[in-house]
Amino acid sequence: MRFFASCPRSLEDLLAEELRQLGIEDPHPTAAGVAFEATIEAALPVLMHSRLASRLLLQLAAFDCEDEAALYRGVEGIDWTRHLRPGQTLLLHAHGRSGSLRHSGFAAQRAKDAIVDRLRREYGERPNVEREDPDLRLDLLLRRGRAVLSIDLGGPLHRRGWRQGQGDAPLKENLAAAMLLRGGWPELARAGGGLFDPMCGSGTLLIEAACMAAEVAPGLGRWGTRPPTGWAGFPQREWEALRVACEHRATQGRQRLQPVLLGCDADAAVLEAARRNARAAGVEAAIRLVQAPLDAAPTPAADEGLVACNPPWDRRLEADAALYRALGDCLRARVPGWRAVLLCGDEDLARATGLRARKTWRLASGPQEALLLRCESVVEGPEAPRVPRPWSASAQMLANRLRRNLRVLRRWREREGVSCYRVYDADLPEYAAAIDVYVDADRGDRYLHVQEYAAPASIPEATARRRLGELLRVAGEVLEVPRPRMAIKRRVRGKGGRKYGLLDHRGVSFMVEEGGLRFEVNLFDHLDTGLFLDHRPVRAALRTMAAGLDVLNLFCYTASASVHMAAGGARSTTSVDLSATYLEWAGRNLAANGFRGAAHRLVQADVLPWLEAERRTWGLIFCDPPTFSNSARAAGDFDVQRDHVRLIRACVERLEPGGVLVFSNNYRRFRLDQDALAGLQVEPWSPARSLPPDFARDPRIHRVWSVRRAPVGRGS
């Protein structure tokens, strides 16, 4: 089935990524929405969980439509008994223009007439129109000689069902969700951070943030125990199972919520509305509401967090530059170092805050546009910062371990010129995370890439959150890195290997140095950063081996190995990957180091079929496949344990006489099938050769082999 999830303009990228996370394959962002194909059962999580979609439309028919007669024929030709039962009601909304159909109200009436006439013939009675709560909502789009008729599954999805009262210009809930996602609230919430809205109004941002943190599905309050639509084809049994599971998850999530959300407003009436709304949403206990103007707002209890605020800006409210200056002063005084997302009317109002925006977006709110800005850190104001809380005994042990690791690695880092390295990898079981340091080669800023390992089921969620919060605080102080320059991710065990989907949309990329070469990294937006630090010695070895050879890099990712081989004097490089995103990144890495032109080829292809069809040969091949891949663009799925013999033999077929394949993978349970590779010379690399000192603690993080053809007359 064909679906279209609509959303406000400029949220298409966020919505597409949300749909991917909800299991939708290959969503296609378009203007004001995202199109995708799925079964109706696969679309149910979108109805229940999407925080960004405005509506979810299921296409029934698309047909040529230049005039009234064509519209009537196209709609009347649909078998409406499959969609509407006797006695049910309907509502049809039309928009757009096509041919002689210039008035949407008239088009809606003629389309409704066609449905009524068809059902009167089938059932002997006509359905009634119901404007408030119809059984079946229909959407008719007219554009450029075509009509598209769709079922509107559930009506307006921005409504969460908890709103009991509101101020003069309430923020739609899906716009609030977009602000929080742009600000990175989910990762901050997982780390125990707080949220502060100093002009909270009726509490939309606070309540949406609490529901996000508690994993309360937006659809739970919208329809209650009813299905979202009376459409005859709706899978009610599957929906009910999904609803019950979400209710259980929401109950658990609300129980573990911590009171780290603070909202202030000078208006007592809207604060009372915020309290009623929070109570209706079931998150009242997590939100502290204080009546106070900006200059008297209390300081949040959390050490780190996100400011999310929608100050007055539209024409229903008076937008005052002085108010925005007071807002900036409040944030600098109360929450220096916190990240902030603010929805401002225009650039002048944004500048009046005095805050430095790293990124801005134009956000459509009804007929108007506003400027959404994200500040990576509220600049510290004139007031002295708060005295930090003392560390616990276990946090002090963590600080000691970090200092020890820095001391042990210092001589090696200085000798080798290493600026990006692993400083901690679950050395203490209580703090189960890996911490990597990245240094911006141009600015000198230090960043941390923190990967939290999922805690065992026996560890309460609140304990895991507290430990992560302690780890981030200690790491920030010992390594002198502020929270906005920490990328925080969670890794879980499971089939799938490296996952290259988007996690965030911050767009913060910078250049790092390795071996005198420059590489672009992005710590925030993807699971991996663009540079695998554990492969540092492998890249150095490839650089030495590549002199005078044509080299091939398979599953090349961002082509860091290709850059090293080019720097080592390779005659040409060919880099192959299925992802266009990472090939573009690879091209930027090559260009940043002066490697351009036909000698440095980038190929977008499914590696194994491409390799088996290729007839060219290379003197050196580097192959570092994922553990598992099932990309929709590939001819089939790939499993490194199952497919490695086929892959290695295909690589060897493409070697020049005397050439060598360097084969690597990071699947911890991988077993090389020596018997199936009979006739080849296979030499394992020792950990001392393939692992750098900062990863020596975990020799299983990857393994490497050299593979050659056996000399004539000799076995393997």
Beta bridge mates, 139:
93, 150
- Decide if 50 contacts 19 (C-beta within 8 A): yes
Residue 633 reports pLDDT greater than 80: no
> Considering the chain, what percentage of its residues have pLDDT values greater than 70?
93
Give the model's confidence band at 489: pLDDT under 50 very low, under 70 low, under 90 confident, else very high: confident
- DSSP character at residue 498: S
Q: What integer pLDDT is reported at residue 370 of this predicted model?
A: 83
Question: What gap in Å lies between CA 345 and CA 372, rounded to an integer?
Answer: 9
Residue 283 reports pLDDT greater than 60: yes
- In order of 28, 318, 405, 470, the CA distances from 449 in angstroms are 30, 42, 16, 16
Threshold 0.85, pTM exceeds:
no
Nearest to 627 by CA among 700, 678, 696: 700
Give the model's confidence band at 387: pLDDT under 50 very low, under 70 low, under 90 confident, else very high: very low
Question: What gap in Å lies between CA 341 and CA 185, rounded to an integer?
Answer: 10
Give the model's confidence band at 40: pLDDT under 50 very low, under 70 low, under 90 confident, else very high: very high
Question: What gap in Å lies between CA 437 and CA 486, rounded to an integer?
Answer: 10
Q: What integer pLDDT is reported at residue 715 of this predicted model?
A: 47
- Find all residues with CB under 8 Å of 703, minimum gap 6, and list them: 664, 665, 670, 684, 685, 690
Average pLDDT over residues 575-583: 94
Helix (H), strand (E) at residue 450: strand 446-453
Higher pLDDT, 425 or 318: 425
- Decide if 153 contacts 44 (C-beta within 8 A): no
Q: What integer pLDDT is reported at residue 117 of this predicted model?
A: 94
Residue 254 reports pLDDT greater than 70: yes
Nearest to 510 by CA among 601, 604, 376, 625: 376
Residue 316 reports pLDDT greater than 50: no
Residue 549, both tokens: 């050879």
Cα angle vertex 360, ends 358, 361, to 5°?
Answer: 155
- Which 3 state secondary structure label does DSSP give 385? coil
- Decide if 624 contacts 669 (C-beta within 8 A): no
- Lowest mean pLDDT: which of 276-280, 312-316, 332-336, 680-684? 312-316
Return the axis-axis angle of helices 12-21 and 173-182, rounded to nearest 10°: 80
Nearest to 49 by CA among 309, 191, 245: 245
Question: What gap in Å lies between CA 152 and CA 236, rounded to an integer?
Answer: 16
- Decide if 34 contacts 15 (C-beta within 8 A): yes
Domains and CATH numbers, the chain: 2-152 (3.30.2130.30), 173-218+235-375 (3.40.50.150), 393-491 (3.30.750.80), 522-709 (3.40.50.150)
Average pLDDT, the chain: 90
Residue 68 reports pLDDT greater than 70: yes
Q: What integer pLDDT is reported at residue 495 of this predicted model?
A: 41
pLDDT digits (tens, 9 = 90+) for 432-482: 999 999 999 988 889 999 999 888 888 887 788 889 989 998 999 999 888
Residue 76 reports pLDDT greater than 90: yes
Q: What integer pLDDT is reported at residue 296 of this predicted model?
A: 92
Average pLDDT over residues 42-47: 96
Average pLDDT over residues 669-678: 94
- In order of 55, 56, 161, 216, the CA distances from 49 in angstroms are 12, 12, 14, 8
635 C-beta neighbours (distance < 10 Å), count: 10
Higher pLDDT, 10 or 52: 52
Q: 3-state SS of 278-321?
A: HHHHCCHHHEEEEECCHHHCCCCCCCCEEEEECCCCCCCCCCCH
- Lowest mean pLDDT: which of 160-174, 296-310, 681-695? 160-174
How far the first Cα of the chain sits from its last, in Å, is 53
- Lowest mean pLDDT: which of 165-174, 419-428, 636-645? 165-174
Q: What integer pLDDT is reported at residue 494 of this predicted model?
A: 44
- Find all residues with CB under 8 Å of 450, minimum gap 6, and list them: 433, 434, 435, 436, 471, 472, 475, 486, 487, 488, 489
Nearest to 706 by CA among 643, 659, 660, 666: 660
Residue 361 reports pLDDT greater than 80: yes
Give the model's confidence band at 491: pLDDT under 50 very low, under 70 low, under 90 confident, else very high: low
Give the model's confidence band at 502: pLDDT under 50 very low, under 70 low, under 90 confident, else very high: very low
Strand order in the sheet with 550-554: 600-604, 572-577, 550-554, 618-623, 655-665, 703-709, 680-684
* Pairing, β 509-514 against β 517-522: antiparallel
Give the model's confidence band at 381: pLDDT under 50 very low, under 70 low, under 90 confident, else very high: very low
pLDDT digits (tens, 9 = 90+) for 192-244: 899 999 999 999 999 999 999 999 999 999 988 999 999 999 999 999 999 99
pLDDT digits (tens, 9 = 90+) for 459-469: 887 788 889 98
Residue 118 reports pLDDT greater than 90: yes
pLDDT digits (tens, 9 = 90+) for 654-668: 999 999 999 999 999
Residue 508 reports pLDDT greater than 70: yes
Higher pLDDT, 641 or 716: 641
Give the model's confidence band at 357: pLDDT under 50 very low, under 70 low, under 90 confident, else very high: confident
Give the model's confidence band at 492: pLDDT under 50 very low, under 70 low, under 90 confident, else very high: low
Question: What gap in Å lies between CA 90 and CA 104, rounded to an integer?
Answer: 17
Residue 133 amino acid letter: D
Give the model's confidence band at 72: pLDDT under 50 very low, under 70 low, under 90 confident, else very high: very high
